Amino acid sequence: MLVYQDLISGDELLSDSFPYKEIENGILWEVEGKWVVQGAVEVNIGANPSAEGGEEDEGVDDQAVKVVDIIDTFRLQEQPTFDKKAFVAYMRKYIKLLSEKLDGENKDHFMKNIECATKYLLGKLKDLQFFVGESMADNAGMVFAYYKEGANNPTFLYIAPGLKEVKC
């Protein structure tokens, strides 16, 4: 299994069990998340509570919750939304930090294409949710989520050069 960690914080943000599609010249990865029910499992053991003097609704307290698989699996932490000015400031800082960690061809490709990817994200800014990894590190990369028109499940966007592939 492959796990993708944030290059700056080391937080696990994605794994190969969630297929991605490259967009914006490979700078962004698009990953489809989905809502899943977690918790309560209904087990039918064949007993008839009314015949045994029990009530129909007697039993274990049901703790089922609906979660988004990617957010839950990688313990992503939601952050407040950004206005355009704050987002551009974050991206400038992140680009500088990330470019220092990249080298050679990776750095050239990143620097050549990050502006278009940033514009793509800016175009969706009002619809985006912002997440960071479990450590909530200040300078870490972000994961962006939004709902495509008519979709019930969120789509996640990752800045691919900010991820490090690790074999588990």
Q: Which among 7, 26, 30, 31 is positioned nearest to 113, based on CA atoms?
A: 26
Residue 98 domain flag:
yes
The range of the structural domain enclosing residue 101 comes to 2-37+70-167
Residue ranges of the chain whose pLDDT lies below 50: none
Q: For residue 47, what pLDDT is reported?
A: 58
Residue 136 domain flag:
yes
Residue 64 domain flag:
no
Which pLDDT tens digit goes with each residue over 6-47? 999 999 999 999 999 999 999 999 999 999 998 766 656 665
Q: For residue 111, what pLDDT is reported?
A: 97
Q: For residue 64, what pLDDT is reported?
A: 86
Q: For residue 138, what pLDDT is reported?
A: 85
- Is residue 164 within 8 Å of 5, Cβ to Cβ? yes
Residue 44 domain flag:
no
User: pTM of this prediction?
Assistant: 0.86
Q: How many domains does the chain have?
A: 1
Q: List the 143-146 sheet strands across, edge first.
A: 20-23, 28-32, 155-159, 143-146, 129-132, 77-79
Q: For residue 58, what pLDDT is reported?
A: 52
